[in-house]
Amino acid sequence: MEHKTISGRRKAYGGVMRVLMLFSVAVTCALALFLIGYVLCKGVPNLSWELLSTKPSYLSGTIGILPDILNTLYVVIATLIIVLPLGVGAAIYLSEYAGSKRLVAVIEYAAETLSGIPSIIYGLVGMLFFCQFLNMKTSLLAGSLTLVIMNLPTVMRTTQESLKTVPQSYREGAFGLGAGKWRVVRTVVLPGCVDGVVTGCILSVGRILGETAALLYTAGFAHALYGFFDGLQNAGATLTVALYVYAKEQGEFEVAFAIASILMVLALLINLAASLTGKYFKKRRSL
Amino acid sequence: MKSRKRLLENTVHGIFLILGLITVGSVLLITVYLVISGIPAIREIGLVKFLFGKTWDSSAAEPQFGILPFILTSVYGTAGAILLGVPVGFFTAVYLAKAAPTRLKSVVSQAVSLLAGIPSVVYGLVGMLVLVPGIRKVFHVADGASLLAAILVLAVMILPSIIKVSVTALESVPREYEDASLALGATPTETWFRVSVPAAKSGIAAAVVLGVGRAIGEAMAVMMVAGNVANLPSLFQSVRFLTTAVASEMAYAGAGLQRQALFSIALVLFLFIMLINATLNFFLKRSKEG
């Protein structure tokens, strides 16, 4: 009976909209599936222990990506070590210390601006400032510092979100017992950051792993093997940069796809980690 | 004892203040560096000649530095990506936020986050080996590395941001609006598109602007599929975007005007981005208030 009261035109409208929605969802899912499938099918067969465990050799004409894997690891570690204290500190300042609303607005606006700046511009300014002005040359450290600025807003935002969930009464309780501000921050506020720090870490790692344009001219594209501290002072390609160089400059598509499949698996893992920790924190909060 | 405690408190406060100001400092640093290094070349070439010159030939004996091809390519490329990406993203977002069963919703959301997490070089690589030859075959052109390839790659790359931001906006539409519409006899589909979507329009507009920002700022994927020749934009021709103009010559640009002109291009790109950011903020603020 209900259906009879709806005119044909309205039914057609509903139908068309439904078809459009289903079509769009299908396109989105198909794209994701195709990309995973294609990259893994083309890349995984090219993965070999030799590729993963050696460095490129001109003598034997072989390509190995161990240096690129290590460089990626170094960049991730160095960036996180620097960006976490900075981002958490900035978030604590905003939620605990800042008195003037105007200053908070300025800082938040700056953070939003940073997250909108394209990575090629970070790369350019990183090259001018870190590599040339601070005389770091093209090095993993210069690349990491560039990525620090890029990821600062992310860590700051996730930490701020998690600080919002620390109940005001905890802080008041601690103040009431005579604790100073710093003590309250240390004992009550900081433990509340853990969720935000973990989430921020995961998001940043994802972004660092996928970053190329900002690293191309700050970290360079060498493939030498170094330890952590030597590595930071020298130029080196991360996996994404190596992929770009192998695909675009050298036409080594097999190696490029092998790297792409590694990056794809890492992206899947990062997504999994993000959704699992998200669920875990939500559950814990609702307890 | 008391003064020592106060000293400690003040020091800690000072440290946190400095940490808080790092973002502001970074923005200033980026702006100042781009302006300082971007201005000299514009001065030497002349603003009008730089912005509206139709030829870019930086390594010729008599070099020409007109970036109109880059600007137009960036604008056309972004517009094309938006034209293709926004409808798909919009309908997917409405479906996810309103119509999808819980199970399906979580699966599709995972697919969307995956698309967001794929590095741009991987998009570029797949574009290079699938899209570029595909375009060559389908449209019978000499080289598939073209504006069209870049538009298609960009359309896919901006999908996740559009979907995510729109879903958030649609989900925060008050339940009462929809209930009222349903109670008045509107079908669920009519309610979603005629009540929920208009109520979330600022958020959806923000999603589109975010997509514009992503598209105009993307460098690597575009560099791999667009061919990198400084032509005035045309769908099947090899083109160079603002981002790729900076990236592709930086490696071998020596000192002097050629290098400085690259910084000027970056400055122009930066101004575009600041404009887009301001628009984005406007819509985000409105969607928070509304």
**Are residues A72 and A16 part of one domain?**
no
Query: A256 to chain B: nearest residue by CA?
Result: B125
Can you tell me the mean pLDDT for B207-211? 94
DSSP A181-248: HHHHIIIIIHHHTHHHHHHHHHHHHHHHHH--HHHHTTT--------HHHHHHS----HHHHHHIIII
The answer to whether residue B145 is domain-embedded is yes
**What single letter denotes the amino acid at residue B196?**
S
pLDDT on residue A1? 45
The answer to whether residue B234 is domain-embedded is yes
Inter-chain touch B122–A243, beta carbons under 8 Å: yes
Based on the structure, what is the number of domains in chain B?
1
The answer to whether residue B71 is domain-embedded is yes
The residue segments making up the domain with residue A10 are 2-46
**Are residues A204 and A90 part of one domain?**
yes
**Are residues A107 and A24 part of one domain?**
no
**Are residues A68 and A24 part of one domain?**
no
**Are residues A94 and A9 part of one domain?**
no
Q: What is the pTM of this model?
A: 0.92
The residue segments making up the domain with residue B274 are 56-289
Residue of A36, A93, A112 with shortest CB distance to B19: A93
Last residue of a domain, one of A16, A31, A46: A46
Q: Write the pLDDT tens digit of every residue in A188-221.
A: 888 888 888 999 999 999 999 999 999 988 998 8
Which of A:66-105 have CB within 8 Å of B? 85-86, 89-90, 92-94, 96-98, 103
The answer to whether residue B123 is domain-embedded is yes
The answer to whether residue B63 is domain-embedded is yes
**Are residues A123 and A24 part of one domain?**
no
Residue with tokens 């137009």: B72
**What single letter denotes the amino acid at residue B115?**
L
B75 is written with which tokens? Answer: 């604008």
Strand B64-65 relative to strand B56-57: parallel, antiparallel, unpaired? antiparallel
**Are residues A161 and A32 part of one domain?**
no
Based on the structure, what is the number of domains in chain A?
2
**Are residues A266 and A156 part of one domain?**
yes
**Average pLDDT of the residues of chain B:** 91
Question: In the structure, what pLDDT confidence band is assigned to residue B251 with cuts at 50, 70 and 90?
Answer: confident
The answer to whether residue B142 is domain-embedded is yes
DSSP three-state, residue B65: strand
Chain A residues with CB under 8 Å of B4 CB are: none
Provide the 10 A C-beta neighbour count for residue A204: 24
Question: In the structure, what pLDDT confidence band is assigned to residue A287 with cuts at 50, 70 and 90?
Answer: low
Chain A residues with CB under 8 Å of B118 CB are: 35, 210, 263-264, 267
The answer to whether residue B193 is domain-embedded is yes
* Residue A237, domain CATH: 1.10.3720.10
The answer to whether residue B118 is domain-embedded is yes
Residue of B27, B219, B251 with shortest CB distance to A213: B219
* Residue B163, domain CATH: 1.10.3720.10
**Are residues A107 and A172 part of one domain?**
yes
DSSP B28-57: HHHHHHHHHHHHHHHHHH-HHHHHH---EE
**Are residues A130 and A6 part of one domain?**
no
